């Protein structure tokens, strides 16, 4: 009896629209829409066809830094109340972004570069996929059998 696990779907945004990356074994299926005319982009490859993979978690907030700096300037020039309240807002922005990072999955396929801003619910599967691809790249792993692509 052979048990086949269901494919994992990583959900996020690409090109400002909803995008998905379906992972079924070693097969990856990217579905997105790009351009003003919403041209469908459907790309199928394998874990072994990815040249470079990056998982990014951006935990900084330039707006938080700027508001905090503005608050520090206001402490010196406008008064303590206005400055401290602005610093509190800036630190709040920094804290929010640190606890809720922007998460990106980047895949370089040679002819295509796929960039997805990953939804919070799909962060764990995306991290695991990036680790799986990194392992395949580091070890020089090749597929056991030629993949059957849809």
Tens digit of each residue's pLDDT (9 = 90 or more) over 15-32: 999 999 999 888 899 999
pLDDT at 4 over 90: no
What is the mean predicted confidence (pLDDT) over 71-93?
A: 92
Tell me the pLDDT tens digit for each residue of 123-149: 999 999 999 999 999 988 777 766 665
Please report, for the chain, the start and end positions of each structural domain, with discontinuous segments joined by +: 8-56+103-139, 62-99
Extract long-range pairs of 24-29: CB within 8 Å, 24+ residues apart.
26/143, 26/147, 27/147, 27/149, 28/107, 28/129, 29/150
CATH fold, domain 8-56+103-139, is PH-domain like (2.30.29)
pLDDT at 2 over 50: no
* Confidence (pLDDT) at 3: 44
> Structure pTM?
0.79
Tokens of 149: 């692509």
Tokens of 4: 């086949």
């Amino acid at each position: 009896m052979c048990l086949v696990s269901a494919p994992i779907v990583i959900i996020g945004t690409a090109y400002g629209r909803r995008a998905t990356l379906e992972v079924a074994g070693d097969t990856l299926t990217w579905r997105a829409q790009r351009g003003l005319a919403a041209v469908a982009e459907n790309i199928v490859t394998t874990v072994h066809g990815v040249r470079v993979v990056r998982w990014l978690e951006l935990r900084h907030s330039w707006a938080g830094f700027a508001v905090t700096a503005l608050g520090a300037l206001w402490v010196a020039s406008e008064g303590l109340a206005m400055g401290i309240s602005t610093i509190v807002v800036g630190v709040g922005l920094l804290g929010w972004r640190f606890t809720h990072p922007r998460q990106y999955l980047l895949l370089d396929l040679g002819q295509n570069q796929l960039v997805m801003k990953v939804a919070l619910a799909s962060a764990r599967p995306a991290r695991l996929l990036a680790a799986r691809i990194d392992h395949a790249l580091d070890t020089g792993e090749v597929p056991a059998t030629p993949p059957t692509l849809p």
